[in-house]
Structure 1
């Protein structure tokens, strides 16, 4: 019941490469929540040289890149990084435009309706005008504003009820993503409390498929590993909180999601002094090997030393575990160096593979314990 994984990832090349190199055994157990990033100034400049409608040109190319990886597969698409009032040159809202493109390219699209955006009349109309194919459905994403509104259940219910009526779907037939976001400063007990309160509220309103997402990886590597050219482990608090909730509520239908190896607030702009690092996902945590500034000695060549730190550690799962693990071993042997985008792909590939396996094993154990307990009654 809780065996499916919902990673929140950006629709960027590193993530595309990560998923492109995953076997179906992993892909069948996860559905990415794909965030469409805003176009950068450089990307707009390039698109403007090639088209009179640069925004639509950029989105067309982005949709083709997504379809090259996810054709025939189900994804959840979110355009909340774009201003709610933004429209393409043809007057289309970004979510509707991208969803239509992806669906026409053979991707099974589940567009995200943003609770925090629902007070905008144009946004509501755009959502109402969207037409989905059979097998596709909307998904509601609840952010910090929604979590605060839950304290006033009647007010919260009136908004989600209006969303359901507008899109023409019963609450029981729609997925809800409870996005807690950055939890680096929250204790596990508070994260669990948020899960418990939001789950109880949503179940009482008729929702049956609920996904929790959060991230405890900090927005800068210095906050995870204090010393340069060293390594350390850190806890994935969102995973421990979810496991605690499911252990206490084994029959609850609460699925797990996170932000992969990125912090929700991290920038897509590559800082000139960024530290070279490898974020290696382990059970309930990360093992992080941190180097120093990419402008320092060895530059990205540091990745070879850092890869050896990972491979020589007790945490390394072996080159056959995932494409990402094979790339780490290759790098430790000096076969390549890589760059920022490449290491996002490697780290994300291992992360999704590891978390998918972790969720499946945990959920299977809980189900067996529940079955045994029921049989002994």
Structure 2
């Protein structure tokens, strides 16, 4: 039964805290979650600070990311992607980023499964890195089809040529290699358009012999103004990706289509904290995000607005009670004036609630499909 959840997660402080607390408090939910970790690039002020501390800032950074992941996922599978780094980028020791962090995770006991990026395959150094990698016994590669590959569905001969080269060069087994159909930001796409992409891509990849297809997209906008127009108000944002996944499986109940999303972030969202950022809470509900928006942190109450916003969540029909997840417990504490939280904290609270919610939503939906199939 395809009830495993594959969230695309930035291996940063907020998301890692969310998963750490999930691991401590709800191992059953974590067991139904195989994260696709995106290792963000070390750059800007963080890189400057790292260079002041060490002569090997990139290796230190990657080692730290590996240790953070291993603390939660030792002896478990994780899927790993480094697509945010330049293709030819090497560490201080001359090793490609993907192979370096995969080796670090492997040494720490994580069953690491590298992503093969369709958009990067034509680069010789990238192909050679993939071909030289030795995986653990139960590990696997995962092919990621991004917007370029989705465009190439209109030229299937070209798409198939690249996929065939991947399979032969990396020694892949189609039946054992998951394919991630990454549609990305779908905030401006109608649900029907998203469904057509999924139907076309799923049908084509199944026709090539791939058994495990994962669809991913994000409906959360890249700025709060696009989610909730008015300051100090709230609104529901449809999770188109979940609606499409459920719709596809309802029409094709035996399909091996798995669900993925980008958590509570937009794929293009920046990690830079804007001077006039709005305080916000993104609370995941069935098929939607319940978004509560405050106003600029430079205005009245600053970050302390989170206490009023939390109370609005707790008093709403959407709140799941403090026992539902660690994130819900923190929202309740904030609503009582016992904490405020910074942007990283709120990524953690929102993400923790989101993962618990989505894992349950997937499990309940697939159980319903199974029950209907059994009666039939």
TM superposition score category, shorter chain reference: over 0.9
How far off is 1:69 after superposition? Answer: 2.4
Aligned residue number for residue 303 of structure 2: 300
Scaled by the length of structure 2, the TM-score of the pair is 0.98
1:99 and 2:102 matched: yes
Displacement, 1:72?
A: 2.2
What is the CA–CA distance in structure 1 between the aligned matches of 2:123 and 2:17, rounded to whole Å?
36
State yes or no: 1:125 paired with 2:102. no
RMSD value, Cα: 0.9
* Cα deviation digits, residues 323-354 of structure 1 (max 9, x gap): 10011001101111000000000000000000
- Is residue 2:176 matched to residue 1:173? yes
Partner of residue 166 from structure 2, selected from 163, 177, 201: 163
Q: State the match for 1:3 in structure 2.
A: 3
1:313 aligns with 2:321: no
Equivalent in the alignment of 2:74: 71
What secondary structure, in the 3-state scheme, does the structure 2 residue paired with 1:271 have? coil
CA distance in 1, matches of 2:336, 2:267: 33
Structure-2 separation of matches of 1:100 and 1:74: 14
Correspondence for 2:204: 201
Q: 2:84 aligns with which of 81, 84, 90?
A: 81
Deviations, residues 139-179 of structure 1 (Å, cap 9, x unaligned): 11000111111222222111111111122121111011000
Aligned match of 1:20: 20
Match of residue 150, structure 1, among 112, 136, 153: 153
**Does residue 342 of structure 1 match 2:342?**
no
Mapped to 1, the partners of 2:240 and 2:64 lie a distance apart of 37
Matches within 5 A, 1:358-377: 358-373=361-376
* Cα shift at 1:47: 2.0
Residue number among 352, 357, 377 corresponding to 2:355 in the alignment: 352
State the 1:299 CA deviation.
1.0
For residues 254 and 170 of structure 2, the distance between their equivalents in structure 1, rounded to whole angstroms, comes to 29
Partner of 2:257: 254
The farther-off stretch of 343-352 and 127-136 is 127-136
Q: 1:182 aligns with which of 182, 185, 194?
A: 185
After TM superposition, the structure 1 stretch with the greater mean CA deviation from structure 2, 162-171 or 279-288, is 162-171
Instruction: Note the alpha carbon deviations across 1:67-89, whole angstroms, 9 max, x for none.
Output: 22222221111000001121111
User: Alpha-carbon deviation of 1:111?
Assistant: 0.6
TM-score by length of 1: 0.97
CA offset at residue 43 of structure 1? 2.0
Match of 1:324 in 2: 327
For 2:279, the equivalent position in structure 1 comes to 276
Please list the CA deviations of residues 6-40 of structure 1 after superposition, one character each: whole Å capped at 9, or x if unmatched. Answer: 11110100000000111111111111111000103
Distance in 1 between the 2:186 and 2:269 partners? 13
SS of the residue 1:335 aligns to: coil
Offset at residue 135 of structure 1 (A)? 1.2
CA distance in 2 between counterparts of 1:75 and 1:4 reads 12
Supply the distance in 2 between the matched residues of 1:65 and 1:368 (Cα, whole angstroms): 39
Which structure 2 segments of 5+ residues have no match?
none
Partners of 1:282 and 1:322 in 2: CA distance: 13
Q: How many pairs were matched up?
A: 373
Cα deviation, 1:230-278, whole Å, max 9, x if unaligned, reads 1111111111111110000000000010000000011111111110000
Q: Secondary structure at the match of 1:234?
A: strand
Give the distance between the partners of 2:67 and 2:3, measured in 1 at CA: 30
Equivalent position of 2:50 in the other structure: 47
Measure how far apart 1:190 and its partner are.
Answer: 0.8
State the alpha-carbon separation in 2 of the partners of residues 227 and 152 from structure 1. 43
- Partners in 2 of 1:341 and 1:16 — Cα distance? 10
The partner residue of 2:289 within 286, 289, 293 is 286
Of residues 38, 41, 47 in structure 2, which corresponds to 1:38?
41
